[in-house]
Amino acid sequence: MTQRPRYRFAPSPTGFFHVGGARTALYNWILALQTGGKFVLRIEDTDDSRNNPQWTQGILDALSWLGIDPSDSHFEGPFFQSANAALHVEAAEKLFAQGDAYYCDLTSEEIQKRSKESGKPGYDGFSRDRNLGPGSGRVLRFKVPAGSTTVQDEVRGTVEFDNATIEDFVLLRGNGSPVFLLANVVDDVTQDITHVVRAEEHLPNAPKQQMIWRALGHQPPSWAHVPVLVNEQRKKLSKRRDKVAVEQYREEGILAAAMKNYLMTLGWAPTGDTEIVPFEKITAEFDLSSVNHSPAFFDIVKLHSFNADYIRAMSVGEFIDACLPWLTGAKAPWSTASFDAKVFAEMAPLVQTRVQLLQDVPSMVDFLFCDLPTIDDAAFTKAFAPEWASATLIEIRDAFKTCEFTPDALKAVVEAVGEKHSLKLGKMQAPLRVAVTGRSVGPPLFEPIVLLGREAVLKRIDAALKKQT
C-alpha cells in the first residue's frame, strides 16, 4: 500500500502569527484534505531567545479560527521540536560516524581571514581532512559533495544548484546544539513527512536539506516553495513595517471565511468569474502547480471588500451573533446596561449592508445606546454652517412633535420642509443627522429615529439647536 501524503506546517513561535504563515498553513491543510493525508503541526521552538509560549498559543488559536482544527482526523500534533533534541544530536553523530560530516575548530575571525586571503567568500572546507573529533567550541559541518543538486519543486519546477556555491554548512554549533537545517530535516524524517510546502525564503535551504535527507538514508520529500507576500510598494511583508498579524485582522472583525478565501486568492485563483467562492470549491480545485511564481500583493483594501461581501452574505441572525464581541463585553464602547439587544436587532440589517469590518459596527449604532450622543465638532460645524440649517431643523422638530412616528412619515416631513426651502433630502438631513447621531455619516436615519422614540429625538434636536445658539 502506498503511503498517504503527510504534509506539515512548522512555524517558529517567535511573534504574532503572520498572514503569510496562515496562507502556507492553508495550502498544507487543503492538500491534506484533498489527498486524505495528514497535516502535521510542528512547533519549531528551539530558539530559546525568541520563543514564547504566548506565540505558540497564538498559532494554535489562529489555526483553529481558520478551521484547521486539531480534532479533525487530518490533523496530527502539535509536536514540539524541542522535545526531539536527542534525535537531532543522534542524527548528527550518525553523519559524523559515516564520514558525511566533520568537526572544525576555526573561529569566525579565522574563517573570515582565510576568505579574505583567498578572495573566496565563505568557509573553504579547511578542516575536511583534519580528522578532528568533537570538542568544546568545535562545530560539526556537513561535507557537501561535488556536483550539483536538483530540487524538484512543485511550484517552481526544476531548480538546479551548483554544489560549488554551497559551503560545508554547520549542523551542530560549538556548544553542541543542532541548527535549524538539521533539526528541521530530522523532524521531517522522524515524522514521515512526504511533502514540504513552505515559504520561498527557505528555497536556498532545500538543496542542503536534501543532502541531509539522502545522507541519513531517506528519500527526500516533494518540495514546494510558495512565493512571498508583498506590500503596496512590492516589498516583502514585514512585521516591523506592515500589518501582518492574523490576530490583528481578527480583532478588527475580519471574518475567518473571508480571510481564508482572500489568502487563497494570493497567487492562485479558483475557476469561474469570481474569486469569492466557498472553501469547498477552493479545496476541490487548489493545485500547487498553478500557483503563480511571482510575489503576491497582500491588498488590505481587497481583503476588506471580501469581508464586506461575506458580511452581506450572512443571515441577519448570523450577523448579529458575529457582532456580539464588539457589542457586549470589553470591546463595547458603552456600558453593558445601556446596550439593548432588541434595538440592535432592528438596526442590524441596515448596518450589515454598510460595514466592512465588524469593529466598525459600534460607531454606527452607539447613538442608540446613550442619553445624548457625543457630537463630532467638525460634523456639527459643517452641518450647521448653512444659514437655513437651524431654521429648517426647527420646522422639522415642530412637525416631529405631532406627525405619525414611522420612517416613511418622518421622511415625508423632512422632504416637505426641504421642498419649501428648495433643498434636497440629502442636504436637509445633515443637521438632523448630526443632532440625532452626533455624526455626519451613518446608516439610514429614519429607522433609528423611530427606535429612539419621539421624546428622545426631540430632546436631541433641542440640545443641538441650543449648542448652535
Residues that bind ligand GLU (rule: CB under 6 A) add up to a total of: 8
Half-sphere exposure of 178 (CA within 13 A, CB side): 25
88 binds ligand GLU (CB under 6 A): no
Instruction: Report the residue number, 18 or 138, with the smaller CB distance to ligand GLU.
Output: 18
Closest chain position to ligand GLU (CB): 198
We find the least distance from the C-beta atom of residue 209 to ligand GLU, in angstroms, to be 8
Output the nine-digit C-alpha cell for 131: 580528522
**Dist CA 318 CA 324 (whole Å):** 10
Instruction: Report the residue number, 126 or 213, with the smaller CB distance to ligand GLU.
Output: 213
Instruction: Report the residue number, 183 or 266, with the smaller CB distance to ligand GLU.
Output: 183
Given a contact cutoff of 8 angstroms between Cβ atoms, the answer to whether 60 and 35 are in contact is no
Catalytic residue, candidates 116, 235, 239, 424: 239
12 binds ligand GLU (CB under 6 A): yes
- For residue 239, indicate whether it is catalytic: yes
- Give the helix/strand (H/E) hosting 159: strand 157-162
Nearest 5°: phi and psi at 192? 55, 40
We find the least distance from the C-beta atom of residue 56 to ligand GLU, in angstroms, to be 12
Options 5, 6, 7, 11; binder of ligand GLU; rule CB under 6 A: 11
447: number of Cβ within 10 Å: 16
We find the least distance from the C-beta atom of residue 300 to ligand GLU, in angstroms, to be 23
Per CB under 6 A, the segment of 10-18, 228-236, 297-305, 400-408 that binds ligand GLU is 10-18
Instruction: Report the residue number, 54 or 381, with the smaller CB distance to ligand GLU.
Output: 54
For residue 115, CA distances in Å to 110, 145, 162 come to 9, 20, 20
Task: Starting at the earlier edge strand, list the strands of the sheet with 101-104.
Answer: 101-104, 139-142, 170-172
Options 46, 56, 184, 437; binder of ligand GLU; rule CB under 6 A: 184
Instruction: Report the residue number, 184 or 265, with the smaller CB distance to ligand GLU.
Output: 184
We find the least distance from the C-beta atom of residue 185 to ligand GLU, in angstroms, to be 9
Options 94, 114, 143, 202; binder of ligand GLU; rule CB under 6 A: 202
**Dist CA 142 CA 92 (whole Å):** 9
44 binds ligand GLU (CB under 6 A): yes
Task: Starting at the earlier edge strand, list the strands of the sheet with 222-226.
Answer: 75-80, 38-43, 6-9, 195-199, 222-226, 148-153, 157-162
Given a contact cutoff of 8 angstroms between Cβ atoms, the answer to whether 72 and 283 are in contact is no
181 binds ligand GLU (CB under 6 A): no
Instruction: Report the residue number, 267 or 431, with the smaller CB distance to ligand GLU.
Output: 267
We find the least distance from the C-beta atom of residue 282 to ligand GLU, in angstroms, to be 22
457 binds ligand GLU (CB under 6 A): no
10 binds ligand GLU (CB under 6 A): yes
**Cα end-to-end distance, the chain, whole Å:** 86
Q: Looking at the DSSP assignment, which residues form a beta bridge with residue 151?
A: 159
- Give the helix/strand (H/E) hosting 179: none
Per CB under 6 A, the segment of 71-79, 196-204, 319-327, 409-417 that binds ligand GLU is 196-204
Residues 6+ apart with CB under 8 A from 39: 7, 8, 9, 28, 29, 32, 68, 74, 75, 76
We find the least distance from the C-beta atom of residue 83 to ligand GLU, in angstroms, to be 15
Instruction: Report the residue number, 104 or 183, with the smaller CB distance to ligand GLU.
Output: 183
* Catalytic annotation, residues: 239
**Which residues are at the interface with ligand GLU (CB under 6 A)?**
10-12, 44, 184, 196, 198, 202
